[in-house]
Amino acid sequence: MPVPTEVASSVTPEPEPPRKRQRTLYEASTQYKNWRFSKQQLSSIRTSLNEAAVAAIRDTFEADSPGSSSDVSFLNADEERLLVKFYASKIPQLCGACGFPEEVEATAVSYLKRFYLKNTVMDWHPKNVMLTALFLATKTANQPIPIDAYVSRIPKTSPSDILDLEFLVAQSLGFEFTVWHPHRALWGVWLDIQSLPDHPKEDIEEVYKTAKTHVRASRLTDAELIYTPSQIALAAFSLASPNLASLWAHSKDSSNVLQVIEPLKQMILQDSHPPDVEAVRDVDRRLKLCKNPEKVIGSKAYLARKAQEEKTAAEKRAKKAEEIRKAMEENDPFGEHIADEKKLDEAVNEALEDDD
């Protein structure tokens, strides 16, 4: 039966459920998921790493010579960060000398900072890690350079200095090599502003150049570990031209972001200066005395650790060899009966070599 017109008109249609906001590409990235923190989280991570390292190194000193750790002045978390920041400030100079593009520079700085959220300078000196991070960044940023050509531009450096740490750095990054950078977001903001019909007729090219200097300066801060690339880009534009930044935010119906970036702007202005060289030298001198002995080639602790590692590896190989031997005897996986012991031993050794 047809519904009367007056009844049909009085029925209120059910409201459509709100649409779920589609995630941006950045929100699907490993950077968004795994490398974003609050200031408090960063402080806690660094303090915990430092305290654990000091405790472990103190125990190593004491095991070698009881009482020897009492006179050692260990680094604190802030001093570790100072040293990392100093070597991060050297990456632009190296990139300039080697002719690497900005993408490589920014990626290397990110790798260095991420590495020291998993490790301590008392185990791995930032100079060596910085050189390895930069070499790794040339490959992940699609600007590869042969290792011999790379080390030829760095005095007193051999290929092994770089390659010996490459897997450790990659492992510490969780093999997550893609980095979303604010200098790329800044380019997008600049293009957007130029397309606005009512943007002020000021020297927008000069504003963009100034904003780029602020983005580059932000690399010496914790900005990329706390804020998104677009927030850093907008903060840099706001420092260069508050008027243009406000105009862009309003054009995107995102004027509230202007309040979010205020503390970020202060971070860029206050924390982006390279550390005092004398302060760094003092920390580096102390690091030589409190470095983990297990990482010092030739020390008693280093030799003891190596011996233990070799013993563990030998035990593992022996266990695996016995497992392979039993499997061969029971299942004959090679498709033919191995009669004598000599052939069996050869097959076991061959299987272990293939596994290695």
Last residue of one domain, picked from the residues 295, 328, 343: 295
Whether residues 153 and 192 share a domain: the answer is no
Is 192 found in the same domain as 123? no
Ordered DSSP codes for 41-110 = HHHHHHHHHHHHHHHHHHHHHHHHSTTGGGG-----HHHHHHHHHHHHTTHHHHHHHHT--HHHHHHHHH
pLDDT bucket at 248, cuts 50 / 70 / 90: confident
Residue carrying the six token digits 């509230």:
256
145-172: average pLDDT: 93
Confidence of residue 1 (pLDDT cuts 50, 70, 90): very low
Distance, C-alpha 173 to centroid of its chain: 5
Identify whether 203 is part of a domain.
yes
Q: Are residues 236 and 285 in the same domain?
A: no
Largest CA distance in the chain: 99
pLDDT mean over 75-97: 95
Tokens of 136: 């790794």
Q: State the pLDDT at residue 354.
A: 59
CATH of the domain at 165: 1.10.472.10
Q: How far apart are CA 93 and CA 204, in angstroms?
A: 28
Q: Is there a single domain that holds both residue 58 and residue 144?
A: yes
- Residue pLDDT, tens place only, 301-355: 444 554 555 555 655 766 666 666 676 666 655 545 544 555 556 655 665 565 5
**Does residue 162 share a domain with residue 216?**
no
User: What is the separation, in whole angstroms, between the first and last Cα of the chain?
Assistant: 80
Identity of the highest mean pLDDT range in 187-191, 202-206, 310-314, 315-319: 187-191
Structure tokens at 70: 């009492």
Range among 68-82, 157-171, 319-333 with highest mean pLDDT value: 157-171
Same-domain pairing of 143 and 79: yes
- pLDDT tens digits, one per residue of 252-302: 877 788 888 999 999 999 999 999 999 999 999 999 988 887 775 544 444
Residue 73 has pLDDT above 80, yes or no: yes
Q: Which domain holds residue 215?
A: 182-272
CA–CA dist 188, 83 (Å, integer): 33
Count structural domains, the chain. 2
| 128 in the same domain as 195 | no
Within-domain flag for 189: yes
Residue 95 lies in a domain: yes
Q: What is d(CA 128, CA 144) in angstroms, rounded to the nearest whole number?
A: 19
**Has residue 355 been placed in a domain?**
no
Residue 46 and residue 150 in one domain:
yes
Q: Could you tell me if 108 and 134 are in contact, meaning their C-beta atoms sit under 8 angstroms apart?
A: yes
Domain endpoint, select from 240, 272, 304? 272
- The token pair that represents 28 in the structure block: 């699907």
> Distance between CA 66 and CA 305 in Å, rounded?
18
- Any idea which of 46-55, 104-113, 336-345 has the lowest mean pLDDT? 336-345
Distance of alpha carbon 224 from alpha carbon 182, whole angstroms: 8
